[in-house]
Amino acid sequence: MYSIIPHGPPIPISAYPCLLEMVPNCVVAGFPSPAEDEGATRIDLNKELVIHPQATYVQRVAGNSMENDGIYDNDILVIDKAIRPRHNMVVVAVVDGAFTVKRLYNQRGRVKLKAANPTYPDIVPKEGQILEIWGVVTNCIKQFPSA
Amino acid sequence: MPAPSMYALIDGNNFYVSCERVFRPDLNGVPVVVLSNNDGCAVARSNEAKALGIAMGAPWFQIKHLAEEAGLVALSANFGLYGDMSDRMMSLAAGLGPSQEIYSIDESFRGFYNR
């Protein structure tokens, strides 16, 4: 009929304080507001802009070699190192020990980096030279003066 | 939780130097040391720096001459950077399964279980 609950000296359940989320409304008797369950979460730029948080970094653009793609000097790039670089993606590459942002060309066995500015030549790796793609650009953030 | 059937130790090579090299690709293949607080002594060495005979903890004043003689690059420690890179690494390692023990800034133990 009743279960036998063995009991002995009381022992603490947890030595640490347990944080509970505060319910925003007071508990009243009566009909609850339907809005209660639809608690709005704000738009989070981290969630919108970042796919792989552990592999995502931010760098600032210097120069105008990608202007025709809308990437301007002083823009902020969100770069994901966990995305496989594919033909036509905008990437950050390492050329001669320096970072450069370019569009990746990878067709029919030919690999090169193309600028989005006709005054910049294509970067074509020489025989035996390694072309390292540091990461794939997923977003470009432009900030306007606000003061 | 049963005992793991295998343990793995995940360890970053030359950790502080490797962190710096992510953002300084020009330092790949170059002898590099990271110096402790106050630029006191070498607390991380690249393989090229080890090949120069620089011991762990070597005081900077004793190895300073290698900058001119062997192209040694010495960097002041950037602990904020190393901490963040460590968090990324530990977070990825944690995703491998249920048990992880973080041992230091660049080492963690993982247990793997036979199903």
ipTM of the complex: 0.86
SS3 for chain B, per residue? CCCCCEEEEEECCCHHHHHHHHHCHHHCCCCEEEECHHHCEEEEECHHHHHCCCCCCCEHHHHCHHHHHHCCEEEECCHHHHHHHHHHHHHHHHCCCCCEEECCCCEEEEEECCC
pLDDT given for residue B45 in this prediction = 97
Higher pLDDT, B110 or A3: B110
Higher pLDDT, A23 or B81: B81
Whether A111 and A105 have beta carbons less than 8 Å apart is answered as yes
pTM above 0.95, yes or no: no
The beta-carbon neighbor of A54 closest among B25, B26, B91 is B91
Per-residue tens of pLDDT for chain A, all 147 residues: 566 666 666 666 655 666 667 766 666 677 766 666 666 788 999 999 999 999 999 999 999 999 999 999 999 999 999 999 999 999 999 998 999 999 999 999 899 999 999 999 999 999 888 889 999 999 999 999 998
pLDDT given for residue A130 in this prediction = 80
pLDDT given for residue B5 in this prediction = 87
pLDDT given for residue B2 in this prediction = 75
With CB atoms and an 8 Å threshold, state whether A97 touches B26. yes
User: In angstroms, what separates the C-alpha of A102 from chain B's closest C-alpha?
Assistant: 17
Q: Residue B44 is encoded by which pair of tokens?
A: 């991380």
- Say which of A102, A114, A142, A146 is annotated catalytic: A102
pLDDT given for residue A9 in this prediction = 67
